[in-house]
Amino acid sequence: GIQVEQSPPDLILQEGANSTLRCNFSDSVNNLQWFHQNPWGQLINLFYIPSGTKQNGRLSATTVATERYSLLYISSSQTTDSGVYFCAVGRPKAAGNKLTFGGGTRVLVKP
Amino acid sequence: NAGVTQTPKFQVLKTGQSMTLQCAQDMNHEYMSWYRQDPGMGLRLIHYSVGAGITDQGEVPNGYNVSRSTTEDFPLRLLSAAPSQTSVYFCASRLGRTEAFFGQGTRLTVV
């Protein structure tokens, strides 16, 4: 099956810093989503971005499907950005529209 | 518009007990699925449904049953709970192969 690798696995930031999270995937996809899992365990949708670039406030994401990677940018980080960030991909014709998740990047933003 | 609603949020079971995790969505999505999240293993697909009356197995279906009698509801049944089923369970729904939305999760402990 498709492999999804996220880097770095852990990230410690000082409040106000910028950061880039990366998601590499091993095969063609027609779906890519970024999620934030907050300290209470909720999965929050950040971006649905199978290709191109999107921005939402301090967060932005870029997916280059032909090169099989996606980047999530966090600017001016805040303590509420702490948690785990997951990239999930879906393949064309995947049974059940299955999403395959990466291992996540655990982010800690210190005040 | 509540999105995807899961109940209960927390549950403790004794080995051998049965229970049903409830999932409901109000977005008229045809695709619904159940994932489990375990430390170090990401989210894995248990069962999915492509519409009312149609269900199929995912990656880790053993020990779980599902049914889909309506578009809105997709309950997950544990017939005889085992400690290996201790996990966090997420229900998701999506319209076609677009953005998936997840419920708040159910944290299940089997003792």
Residue A75's pLDDT band, with cuts at 50, 70 and 90, is very high
User: Does A2 or B74 have the greater pLDDT score?
Assistant: B74
Is residue A31 within 8 Å of A87, Cβ to Cβ?
no
What's the pLDDT at B1?
65
Distance CA A71, CA A63 (A): 6
Choose, out of B102, B104, B107, the residue to mutate when testing the contact with A (most A CBs < 10 Å).
B102
The pair phi, psi for residue B85, each rounded to 5°, is -90, 5
What's the pLDDT at A94?
75
What's the pLDDT at B2?
74
Residue A111 predicted with pLDDT over 80: yes
Residues of A with CB under 8 A from a CB of B: 30-31, 33, 35, 41-43, 45, 48, 86, 88, 90, 95-99, 101-104
Residues of chain B with pLDDT under 50: none
Q: Is the dihedral of CA B23, B26, B31, B36 positive or negative?
A: negative
What's the pLDDT at B79?
92
If you average pLDDT over residues A82-96, what whole number do you get?
88
Residue A93 predicted with pLDDT over 90: no
The pair phi, psi for residue A21, each rounded to 5°, is -110, 145
For residue range A25-62, list pLDDT tens digits in order: 999 999 999 999 998 899 999 999 999 999 999 999 99
Give the 3-state secondary structure of chain B.
CCCEEEECCEEEECCCCCEEEEEEECCCCCEEEEEEEECCCEEEEEEEEEECCEEEECCCCCCEEECCCCCCECCEEECCCCHHHCEEEEEEEECCCCCEEECCCEEEEEC
- CB contact B48 to A (< 8 Å): yes
